[in-house]
Amino acid sequence: MFLNEIQEYDKKYFMNTFGSRIPVAFTKGEGIHLWSTEGEKYTDFFAGIAVNSIGYSHPTFVDMVTEQVSSLIHCSNLYYIEAQALLAKELVENSCADKIFFSNSGAEANEGAIKLARIYFKKLGKPEKYEIITLQKSFHGRTITTLSATGQEKYAKPFEPLTQGFKKVPINDFAALEAAITENTCAVMLEPVQGESGVYPCNPEYLQNVKRLCLEKDILLIFDEVQTGIGRTGKLFCYQKYNVEPDIFTLAKALGGGIPIGAVCAKEHAAGAFTPGEHGSTFGGNPLACTAGLAVMKIMKEEKLSENAEKLGLYIKSRLEALSSSTYPVISEIRAVGLMIGIELNKPVAPAVKAKMFEKKYLIANVGENILRILPPLIITQADADEFIAALTSAIDEAL
């Protein structure tokens, strides 16, 4: 089909949740490139919102997933599942978690983490501990409960009444967090680097203080690593970068290389709170999704993609900072942790720069009028980064 037909059907048959989209539809991907219905080639520096970290059509991924598709796609959790057991083992052996539960998305993984935190204290005979403190500008998902956890009113307001028991405090304000804690607090839940709202990292000392306070007050620490996880920030998991181990962390986006999967990862004491019948999923952790996860983990390791994210993230950051202090004063701040990059502009031209980049066949995103958000696949090379920066500077020239 051509783009205009797809657009017509979309308008007629699809709920209008995404508004008028960027006018392109893709039919094929390879490496960091995508091809459109009109046969044009694009370079992807947004990676399906941090999902396609290993790039498109990676041969190892295609082989493992194709083989699984032709043997067994789904069987229910009524039975034992080899790929599920293997992926859980792989995640445990490479993280601070002792047990894993698989879901189908980030929101669903966060729902699982929230349920786990609440039932943990119920089982300790402390049902009064049910409140969860989250951060302003956070994003935890689109279900009613994860919207209740999300610190952005615009998403949640239309769906009130929300789930009770969530309190929001500003990021990197330890005093505010300390003041929000009561005898009802069961968990602190945060993204170590806030993604969706514009790439805002937590300070290392802040996270270390939060961890210490949680231990002191008998509160669970939950990291939402749906976006930061699986190498994006330069370590396999972002908590490793900060040297702060959460009791529970969640994964999704990059874990399945594009096949939907989420994970609740927990240390033994917390994980043990779930007993049979208290949580479940029809699709969660099925053979196909877990095989995709195993392929991603294998490729991450073989190609040292976390290290590449660290190296290329620092490279892009330093090049952008050099531009900011010389010829491009419009770039006012670079917030980058690995290949999770926010570029703050001091003029409201982010949408125009994104549009100019699209004309140059580059996919990036903006947050509001002043922030560009860059999430390239973790397989990019220095030459890819150089080409990207060349395109970006000319896009800025044209947009100003």
Q: Which of 226, 244, 259, 271 binds ligand PLP (CB under 6 A)?
A: 226
CA angle, 178 then 180 then 184, to 5°: 110
252 marked ligand binding residue: no
Radius of gyration of the chain (CA): 21
In the sheet with 365-367, reading across from the earlier edge strand, the strands are 331-337, 340-345, 371-374, 365-367
Q: Among 227, 233, 366, 370, which residue interacts with ligand PLP (rule: CB under 6 A)?
A: 227
Q: Which of 118, 140, 232, 319 binds ligand PLP (CB under 6 A)?
A: 140
Residues in 150-209 at the binding interface with ligand PLP, rule: CB under 6 A: 191, 195-196
CB neighbour burial string for 52-70, b if at least 16 within 10 angstroms, e if fewer: bbbbbebeebeebbeebee
Nearest to 392 by CA among 347, 336, 328: 328
Is 274 labeled as ligand-binding?
Answer: no
290 binds ligand PLP (CB under 6 A): no
The answer to whether 183 and 128 have CB atoms below 8 angstroms apart is: yes
Smallest separation (angstroms) from ligand PLP to the CB of 108 = 6
Give the DSSP H or E segment for 294.
helix 287-302
Of 345, 394, 396, residue with least CA distance to 372: 345
Q: Is 10 a catalytic residue?
A: no
The distance from CA 372 to its chain's CA centroid, rounded to whole angstroms, is 17
Q: Is 44 a catalytic residue?
A: no
d(CA 198, CA 368): 9
Torsion, CA 344, CA 347, CA 352, CA 357, rounded to 10: -40
Q: Residue 125 — left, alpha, or beta (φ > 0 → left; ψ -120 to 50 → alpha)?
A: left
The catalytic residue among 241, 253, 267, 354 is 253
224 is in an annotated binding site: yes
CB of 395 to ligand PLP, least distance (A): 25
- List the structure tokens of 70: 């032709």
| Count of residues engaged in binding ligand PLP, rule: CB under 6 A | 15
Q: Catalytic site residue 386?
A: no
What is the β-pairing status of strands 99-103 and 41-44? unpaired
105, 197, 291, 308: residue in contact with ligand PLP (rule CB under 6 A): 105
Q: Is 134 in the site for ligand PLP (CB under 6 A)?
A: no
Residue among 29, 55, 106, 201 that touches ligand PLP (CB under 6 A): 106
Give residues with Cβ within 8 angstroms of 211, minimum separation 6: 221, 244, 245, 246
Name the minimum Å distance from CB 134 to ligand PLP: 11
Taking the complex as a whole, how short is the minimal distance between the CB of residue 194 and ligand PLP, in angstroms?
Answer: 8
Smallest gap from Cβ 113 to ligand PLP, in A, equals 10
Q: Kindly state the smallest distance separating residue 144's Cβ from ligand PLP, in Å.
A: 13
- Please tell me which residue in 139, 166, 223, 388 is annotated as part of the active site: 139
Using rule CB under 6 A, residue 241 touches ligand PLP: no
By CB under 6 A, tell whether 111 contacts ligand PLP.
no
Binding site members for N(2)-acetyl-L-ornithine: 142, 281
Binding site members: 106-107, 139, 142, 224-227, 281-282
Residues in touch with ligand PLP (CB under 6 A): 105-107, 110, 139-141, 191, 195-196, 224, 226-227, 252-253
Residues with catalytic roles = 139, 224, 253
Binding site members for pyridoxal 5'-phosphate: 106-107, 139, 224-227, 282
